[in-house]
């Protein structure tokens, strides 16, 4: 089982507490990168904390939560080697792993209920990447990172 680096802004703070409790009951190793109160913070800062750690540990996944999941997933996907998927249903979570080899799961704390969020997290943790034709497509995304991140705006 992968180690989880989890983080949230104030919009995802309450759901993060629920998911940390869930990971504990499932005996999944995790590190909570904050925030640790409902004080307002900027979601790109949390995304960077989590994504930098995911990139240092190949045997890890990230979980990021903001109000809608939109801002924090956009920020996460600006990091190299990060494939962040915004999931609000289990089918998306399954396909994000099977086809997209997503390594960061994003959710909106103001969008979904805690039980649905736990199921989504469980699916994300337990589905493997299928490889094959999907690997070819991910290689193209890696090429995009090389050309787009280095090109003048």
Closer of 10 and 97 to ligand RB5 (Cβ):
10
| DSSP class of 12 | T
Peptide bond between residue 35 and the one before it cis (omega within 30 degrees of 0): yes
Which of the residues 10, 87, 88, 99 is marked catalytic?
Answer: 99
Q: Which residue, chain included where needed, has tokens 């790109």?
A: 44
| CB burial string 4-31: b at 16+ within 10 A, e below | bbbbbbbbbbebbebbbebbeeeebebe
Place of tokens 């497509």: 137
Query: Residues in contact with ligand RB5, total (CB under 6 A)?
Result: 8
107 binds ligand RB5 (CB under 6 A): no
9: contact with ligand RB5 by CB under 6 A: yes
Catalytic annotation on 66?
A: yes
Of residues 53 and 70, the one with the C-beta less far from ligand RB5:
70
Active site residue 51: no
Q: How many residues belong to the chain? A: 153
Output the smallest distance, CB 11 to ligand RB5, in A: 3
DSSP string, 75-98: HHTTSTT--EEE-SSHHHHHHHHH
Over the window 60 to 99, marking each residue x when it contacts ligand RB5 by CB under 6 A and - when it does not, the resulting string is ------xxx-xx----------------------------
Task: List the catalytic residues.
Answer: 66, 99
Contact positions vs ligand RB5 (CB under 6 A):
9, 11, 43, 66-68, 70-71
């Amino acid at each position: 089982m992968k180690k989880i680096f989890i983080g949230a802004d104030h919009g995802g703070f309450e759901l993060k507490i629920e998911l940390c409790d869930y990971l504990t009951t499932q005996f999944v190793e995790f590190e909570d990168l904050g925030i640790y109160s409902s004080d307002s913070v900027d979601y790109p800062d949390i995304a960077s904390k989590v994504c930098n750690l995911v990139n240092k540990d190949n045997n890890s996944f990230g979980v990021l939560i903001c109000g809608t999941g939109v801002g924090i997933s956009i920020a996460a996907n600006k990091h190299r080697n990060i494939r962040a998927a915004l999931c609000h249903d289990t089918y998306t979570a399954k396909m994000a792993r099977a086809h997209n080899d997503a390594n960061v799961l994003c959710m909106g704390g103001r969008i979904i209920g805690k039980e649905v969020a736990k199921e989504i997290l469980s699916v994300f943790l337990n589905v493997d990447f299928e490889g094959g034709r999907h690997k070819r497509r991910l290689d193209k995304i890696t090429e995009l990172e090389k050309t787009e991140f280095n090109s003048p705006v």
